[in-house]
């Protein structure tokens, strides 16, 4: 709750809307060759890769369900059983370019205690053409710039 003071000196109370529930989206790190994987963000530039490059892909928060809407403390029932977080059983990894797609693997996410991690070590396919491409890790897109 915040107090607002208007131009006339009147004091009022402003009550924000109820907070919306929101589980954190999966997070991904990618490294090319021997480089340490770096975080992928929405504003990140396309990662420059070449056919045959080794990609080290790491991620976390790959789970189903969302438990941030209530607690299990006194007076609260906790999230319904259908919203309980569980590791994703099949997180796909693919490279997409135009109408072409290359499945690169899939992995089961690790346990909650490790933040539902996934890990992939793959090679950029030799048949990828120069230009823009997308590395898709589950629901996360990583922009690539393929060079030869």
CATH number at residue 100: 2.60.40
Residue 10 lies in a domain: no
Q: What is the pLDDT of residues 124-148, one digit of tens each?
A: 999 999 999 999 999 999 999 999 9
Q: Which of 6-10, 40-44, 59-63, 116-120 has the lowest mean pLDDT?
A: 6-10
The structure tokens listed for 12 are 């009022």
In the chain, the largest separation of any two C-alpha atoms, in whole Å, equals 70
Nearest CA among 139, 1, 137 for reference residue 57:
137
Contact 95, 83 (CB under 8 A): no
Contact 113, 87 (CB under 8 A): no
Contact 49, 131 (CB under 8 A): no
Q: Identify the domain containing residue 55 by its residue range.
A: 24-65+83-146
Residue 131 lies in a domain: yes
Residue 19 lies in a domain: no
Residue 90 lies in a domain: yes
The total domain count for the chain is: 1
Residue 100 lies in a domain: yes
């Amino acid at each position: 709750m915040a107090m607002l003071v208007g131009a006339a000196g009147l004091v009022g109370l402003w009550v924000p809307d109820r907070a919306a529930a929101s589980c954190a989206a999966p997070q991904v790190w990618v490294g090319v060759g021997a480089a340490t994987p770096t975080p992928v963000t929405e504003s990140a530039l396309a990662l420059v890769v070449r056919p045959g490059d080794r990609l080290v892909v790491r991620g976390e928060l790959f789970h189903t369900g969302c438990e941030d809407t209530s607690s299990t403390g006194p007076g609260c029932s906790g999230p319904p059983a259908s919203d309980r977080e569980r590791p994703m059983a099949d997180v796909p990894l693919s490279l997409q370019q135009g109408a072409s797609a290359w499945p690169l693997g899939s992995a089961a996410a690790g346990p909650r205690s490790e933040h539902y991690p996934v890990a992939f070590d793959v090679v950029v396919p030799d048949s990828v053409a120069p230009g823009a491409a997308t590395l898709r890790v589950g629901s996360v897109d990583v922009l690539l710039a393929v060079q030869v």
